[in-house]
Structure 1
Amino acid sequence: MSSATLPRARHLVAFGPHNGAHTVALRAGISMAVPLLALWFTGHLELSLYATFGAFTSLYGRSHSHLARFRMQSVAAAMMVSAVVLGTAVGISDAREWIVVPVVAAAAGLATLLSNAVALHPPGALFVAFAVAACASVPSSPATIGLALAVASASAALSLAVGAVGAIRPSARHRPRSTFAVSFRDALARPGEASTVARLVTGVLVAGAVPTLAGIGHPYWAMVAVVAALSGPDATARLVRAGHRILGTIVGIGLAAVLFALDLPALGTIAVVVALQVAAELFVGRNYGLTMVFVTPLALCMVELAHAADGGALIADRLVETVFGAAVGIVLTLVWRPRSAAVVGV
């Protein structure tokens, strides 16, 4: 690989434009807060993991017009609910820690193809892989599947409603119309598509199997990290994302340690989760590394909210597995390229 492909320091600290991120952040905050508060009020915070993944529906179609966003978020809602149900079903098995690795790999590959076919924004399989892996890590029963389906569906439906409510404003009628169409044929015909999916599936299998074999807790964070690292459009972007993932996580676990030390009540943790979600959406389009500073404690607080756990162990596992998963992504990016790739390409 030529040095022209390697990222420079300026890539890690570059900032994109604000581009109306406050509107997206507000939608994401409302979509996250309402279902979590409903579960807290009814005394069922153990179901909060399913609600948060359903709320991720709000993160799609951030810059699209209302109708196009509604169509895109409808596809995203189906993806997220399916991922929650699939992960919960895996959680029934006593062998879930091993079953989940190939299941996440397959789900990530299919989600990537679907994402490219419908031009989802944000693209890729990150949220799907996270939902399947995290839900599978929680022991469940057949009855839990129905609960997971209901909670995730209700949360996703709320996100759809929040995303569409702005259409009633007069100003919305004068916005440029964006399109949203499905084209699997175009997606499958893209140069290097098969190689991209194969690289991703391989990365997930390696990132999931090694920590599981080593007995490290929460190996799904390694799988999520490699999906994030390999989701860039070209080699340079993938290496930058891997660097952002590592550096942002290192800073983010410091913030998580402070939050865990506060020993917040459930309602306080919900407020923190919502605030972190809003902060992440404010910066995700500007600098992914800074976004990870907020996403890291967000992910840890999500786990803590649903199931009480040792904060110190969670933080240690998050750091080790994120670094490992990102490292797997870096290695695969450097050694696995289509033969037709240009020097600065994939």
Structure 2
Amino acid sequence: MAVSLDRLEHSRSALAHAVSPTTWRQALAIAPSDASFAPALRVGLAVTVVLVGGGILGRPDLAGFAALGSLCSAFGRYEPYPRRAGKIALVSALIIAYASFGALLGATTTSVAVQVLAISISAGIAAMLLTAFAITGPGAVILIFASTAAVAFSHTAADIATVFTTVSVGAAVGWVASMLPALVHPVGPAQLAVARALAAVDSRQQGPARAAVARARTVVALNPGTRAHRLGLVTLLDDAEALLDAWANGDDPTHASDVLAHERELRKIRRYDALEVRAVQFDTPPQNFFAAGLAQLTARPLVVNAVRIAAAAGLAAWCAILLGFEHPLWATMGAIAAMQGITFHTTVQRGIQRLLGNIGGAIFAAGLIALSLGYWQIVVAIVLLQMAAELLVLKNYALTTLAITPMALLMTGLAGHLTPAVTISRIGDTLIGVLVGIVIAALTIEQADRS
């Protein structure tokens, strides 16, 4: 009984945290970041290719599905190319599978109850898969977006095949766009990882700095390049770690500025070879990400989180239905996006940011829809908004959502006419999804999560 009362008090404190003015101020803070234009350009290129292709072929109604497939390029933005190739291929397969599953649902049943149940369960599975395989990026929301769009589009068996083919083409374009920079700057991810590690070391925060150094070692070990170049990067990481050790012991090494000065050169789009080589050998090669992911799939925390997300997604959709909203499956995306946080604090922040970003983005979208833009004007708007979202994602999720919301609505409108009134439903569904997600997260909060 005491344990139950303690958990109840813990959940009550969590809900109080969600409405704290301090929490809301923190959600609006702009985080410092070293965001690169490269990921935004990759995604922008992929989306542009498929939307232009859809327009030239006279199938603007299918261009949106191809664009959804191309969004695989938004995942694994800083991974070394060998690992990125595998992870983007896996994400591509998942987007294709989820879009096809949504098309199958739309073609075989008109029961909203069945659709909500199926999409909710698949949302939990999507979150579990992406977490197990350590795939960073927009998260399970993209997979569910693909599913819900396909549910609305598909009515016959032929529609299922159309969705499968179109999304597959878009995913192939996205994979190619993700890998193209390897032809120009194959050592880019390794140099950027080391540069970011040096920036973290310069902050003198031991925990984050050591994590950044460890991450950089993994990237360097997996990245292609000459042995001398890779050993030079490893040597620099050894020097950076030695600085952390010295500072932890109260020393102040005079050569610290010389080590940290390499950061600027490493960020340039060229191979940087002006590094000393003292390292004798590399660390043990990192484990294959796919094997590691398979081993993690049955981990209890992942399974529990999948159940939480599935429950929140289903409850959010049913609340939207009871309140009479036209697109209840949109509410599932609000719940999923909020619950992608690692801690409850992160969940609340993402919920606040998604809500505020959706409100601003929906108002902007209403203005764009009211202009009755032509197809090519919509293409330009979608590409610019998607690139803006990629550039803002490390700054603040609210700003990211401010760009994503009109982009998603415009992309949805490619398959059918939308009116400005649809933005009201978007805001309402998001509000429901965020509130349900935060409440479920508070009721199921881990005892250890007291941040």
Normalised-by-shorter TM-score class: over 0.9
1:1-346 mapped onto 2 (5 Å cutoff): 1=10, 2=13, 6=18, 8-122=23-137, 124-170=139-185, 172=187, 175=191, 176-178=220-222, 181-182=289-290, 183-189=293-299, 192-312=301-421, 314-338=422-446, 340-344=447-451
Distance 1:110 1:335 in 2: 21
Tell me: CA distance 1:16–1:78, structure 2 relative to 1, closer, same or farther (3 Å). Answer: same
Consecutive unaligned residues in structure 2, runs of 5 or more: 1-9, 192-219, 223-285
SS at match of 2:153: coil
Instruction: Quote the offset at 1:311 in angstroms.
Output: 2.5
| C-alpha separation in 2, matches of 1:19 and 1:213 | 44
Q: Is the contact made by 2:351 and 2:438 (CA closer than 8 Å) also made in structure 1?
A: yes
Classify 1:169/1:139 alpha carbon distance in 2 versus 1 (closer, same or farther; 3 Å).
closer
The answer on whether the counterparts of 1:166 and 1:172 sit within 8 Å (CA) in structure 2 is: no
Shift of residue 94, structure 1, vs aligned partner:
4.6
**Larger displacement relative to structure 2 (3-12 or 160-169):** 3-12
Residue-by-residue CA offset, 1:38-85 (whole Å, 9 max, x unaligned): 111111111123212101101111011111111110010000011111
TM-superposition CA deviations, 1:158-197 (whole Å, max 9, x none): 111111111112552764345660223234335x333211
Of residues 8-17 and 104-113 in structure 1, the stretch that sits farther from structure 2 once superposed is: 8-17
Is 1:31–1:158's contact at 8 Å kept on the other side of the alignment?
yes
Query: Match for 2:294: what amino acid?
Result: F
| Aligned counterparts of 1:38 and 1:204: Cα–Cα separation in 2 | 34
Distance 2:143 2:163 in 1: 15
Given the superposition, is the C-alpha separation of residues 17 and 68 from structure 1 closer, same or farther in structure 2, using an over 3 Å criterion? farther
Taking structure 1 as reference, are residues 240 and 20 closer, same or farther at Cα in structure 2, changes over 3 Å only? closer
TM-score, length basis structure 1: 0.92
The alignment covers a number of residue pairs equal to 341
CA contact (8 A) 1:61 1:122 kept: yes
> Over aligned residue pairs, what C-alpha RMSD do you find?
2.0
Look up the equivalent residue of 1:207 and give its one-letter code. Answer: A
* DSSP 3-state at the match of 1:120: coil
How far is the alpha carbon of 1:122 from its aligned partner?
Answer: 2.0
Q: Cα distance, 1:19 vs. partner?
A: 2.8
Partners of 1:5 and 1:235 within 8 A in 2 = no
Q: Tell me by how many angstroms 1:261 deviates.
A: 2.2
The one-letter code of the counterpart of 2:413 is E
Task: State the AA in 2 paired with 1:342.
Answer: D
Q: 1:77 to 1:336 in 2, by over 3 A?
A: same
- Bigger relative contact order, structure 1 or 2 (CA pairs below 8 A, ≥6 apart): 1
Amino acid in structure 2 at the alignment position of 1:184: L
Q: State whether residues 28 and 353 of structure 2, in contact with CA within 8 Å, keep that contact through their aligned partners in structure 1.
A: no
SS of 2:68's equivalent? helix
In 2, Cα distance between equivalents of 1:171 and 1:293: 33
Supply the distance in 2 between the matched residues of 1:337 and 1:172 (Cα, whole angstroms).
42
Distance 1:45 1:342 in 2: 47
**Radius of gyration: which is bigger?**
2
- Distance in 2, matches of 1:246 and 1:342, equals 23
User: Which amino acid in the other structure matches residue 167 of structure 1?
Assistant: A
DSSP-derived class of the 1:8 partner:
helix
Native 8 Å contact 2:60 2:414 kept in 1:
yes
Q: Which residue type is aligned with residue 208 of structure 1? A: A
8 Å Cα contact 1:97-1:212 kept in structure 2: no
Kept in 1, the 8 Å contact 2:70–2:175? The answer is no
Look up the SS of the partner of 1:311 in the other structure.
coil
Query: Cα distance, 1:293 vs. partner?
Result: 0.7
Code of the residue aligned with 1:37 in structure 2: it is V
